[in-house]
């Protein structure tokens, strides 16, 4: 009588499995090579993805007396780590993130009782005071990954880095199926607006999380134009929800901004009470984006009050001719070469602000 397991066994068909394996392997390799050639032809190059795991790896390098950069993508692009080390005597840890609010990272450092170092904090008012949404979520996810990262996640990250440094098509923000589907030209529909598109890849990232603008974006051309035209919609706030009265929405936003002022002041006080230092920096912005930011968040508002409430020093690029003369090719960030020169010129002002 046949056993219960043998009744479920299926015979393996007599097929040329070795040949099939070779054919599938060759097909996959040819397809991957073709996709790699195409990606390089349209402007992509091998570089690291700025993942939450890469951020967590940088966060683990923070020592009690470290020099730490926090903020948005302007501090990520515009500060050169070598020049900061030469001018300030310490190798900085780069914790700034593209498309994020700096506050969750500042709060994390304030809650770290070991930390009593120095912070350079970039301020783009509309981003720093975002009450929620993707800007806050991006920073919160990175902080959470640092505190909860598993051994498997860390191991996977270290396996991925050598591949990302050699293969151009491993761009999770631009070249995954999900990302490519978001590029479909779908129209807005009532009650279902299409999410605003973030700018495409236009930087390289190294293992210290130093971002450098690619030459194809620094020079006039299709990529630079695409990045430029993407900023204005992203920096224009969406209309209030139709189901919330305008006065109620305005009141809630005002309360959220006031809470951010209070929480930021408290975070700065905790860091300072442990012997730490902080300086806020407004990095260069040019073109139509500068016009929009100056109108929406004038300096006399958030910037001036932030310095007053926190009693912290601030460096505003327009106050110094040697900092104000830089042009951002795509309006929001400095080119790779200009970031080095800008940092060199910024160092004396940082030393003065931090009493070094």
Sketch out the chain's domains with CATH numbers.
65-145+201-353 (3.40.50)
- Rounded to the nearest angstrom, the gap between the alpha carbon of residue 63 and the centroid of all alpha carbons in its chain is 22
Helices (H) and strands (E) in the chain, counts: 16, 7
pTM above 0.95, yes or no: no
Give the number of other Cβ atoms within 10 Å of residue 132's Cβ: 10
Q: How far apart are CA 128 and CA 48, in angstroms?
A: 26
Q: How far apart are CA 84 and CA 77, in angstroms?
A: 13
Q: Contact at 8 Å (CB) between 42 and 81? A: no
Q: What is the pLDDT along the chain (356 residues), one digit of tens a residue?
A: 455 555 567 788 888 888 889 999 999 999 888 888 888 887 788 899 999 999 999 999 999 999 999 999 999 999 999 999 999 999 999 999 999 999 999 999 999 999 999 999 999 999 999 888 889 999 999 999 999 999 999 999 999 999 999 988 888 777 776 666 666 666 666 666 666 667 778 899 999 999 999 999 999 999 999 899 888 888 887 777 777 787 887 888 889 999 999 999 999 999 999 999 999 999 999 999 999 999 999 999 999 999 999 999 999 999 999 999 999 999 999 999 999 999 999 999 999 999 98
DSSP-based three-state secondary structure for 314: strand
How far, in Å, CA of 263 to CA of 270, rounded?
11
Alpha-carbon span 266 to 272, nearest angstrom: 10
Q: What is the pLDDT of residues 241-285, one digit of tens each?
A: 777 787 887 888 889 999 999 999 999 999 999 999 999 999 999
Q: Which helix (H) or strand (E) holds 277?
A: strand 277-282
pLDDT digits (tens, 9 = 90+) for 44-60: 888 999 999 999 999 99
Write the Ramachandran bin of 209: left for phi over 0, alpha for psi from -120 to 50, otherwise beta: left
pLDDT at position 247 is: 82
- With contact defined as beta carbons under 8 Å apart, do 107 and 268 qualify? no
What pLDDT is recorded for position 98? 93
Q: What percent of the chain has pLDDT over 70?
A: 92
């Amino acid at each position: 009588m046949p056993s219960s397991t043998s009744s479920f066994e299926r015979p393996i068909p007599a097929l040329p499995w070795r040949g099939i394996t070779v054919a599938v392997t060759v097909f996959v390799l040819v397809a991957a090579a073709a996709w790699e050639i195409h990606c390089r032809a349209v402007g992509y190059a091998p570089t690291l993805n700025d993942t939450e795991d890469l951020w967590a790896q940088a966060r683990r390098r923070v020592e009690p007396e470290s020099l730490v950069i926090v903020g948005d993508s302007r501090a990520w692009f515009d500060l050169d780590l070598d020049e900061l080390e030469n001018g300030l005597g310490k190798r900085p840890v780069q914790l700034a993130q593209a498309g994020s609010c700096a506050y969750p990272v500042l709060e994390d450092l304030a809650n770290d009782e070991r930390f009593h170092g120095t912070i350079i904090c970039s301020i783009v008012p509309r981003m720093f005071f975002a009450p929620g949404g993707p800007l806050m979520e991006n920073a919160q996810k990175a902080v959470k990954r640092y505190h909860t990262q598993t051994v498997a996640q860390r191991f996977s990250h270290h396996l991925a880095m050598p591949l990302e440094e050699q293969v151009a098509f491993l761009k999770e923000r631009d070249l995954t199926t999900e990302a490519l589907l978001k590029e479909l030209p779908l129209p807005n529909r009532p009650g279902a607006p299409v999410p605003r598109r973030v700018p495409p890849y236009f930087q390289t990232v190294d293992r210290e999380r130093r971002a450098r603008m690619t030459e194809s974006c620094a020079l006039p051309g299709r990529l630079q134009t695409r990045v430029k035209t993407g900023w204005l919609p992203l920096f224009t706030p969406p209309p209030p929800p139709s189901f919330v009265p305008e006065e109620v929405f305005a009141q809630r936003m005002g309360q959220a901004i006031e809470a951010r002022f209070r929480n930021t002041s408290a975070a700065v006080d905790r860091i300072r009470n442990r012997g730490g230092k902080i300086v806020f920096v407004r990095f260069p912005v040019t073109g139509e984006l500068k016009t929009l930011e100056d109108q929406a968040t004038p300096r006399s508002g958030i910037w001036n009050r932030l310095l007053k409430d926190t009693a912290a020093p601030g460096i505003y690029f327009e106050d110094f001719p040697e900092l104000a003369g830089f042009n951002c090719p795509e309006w929001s960030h400095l080119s790779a070469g200009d970031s080095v020169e800008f940092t060199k010129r910024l160092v004396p002002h940082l030393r003065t602000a931090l009493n070094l």
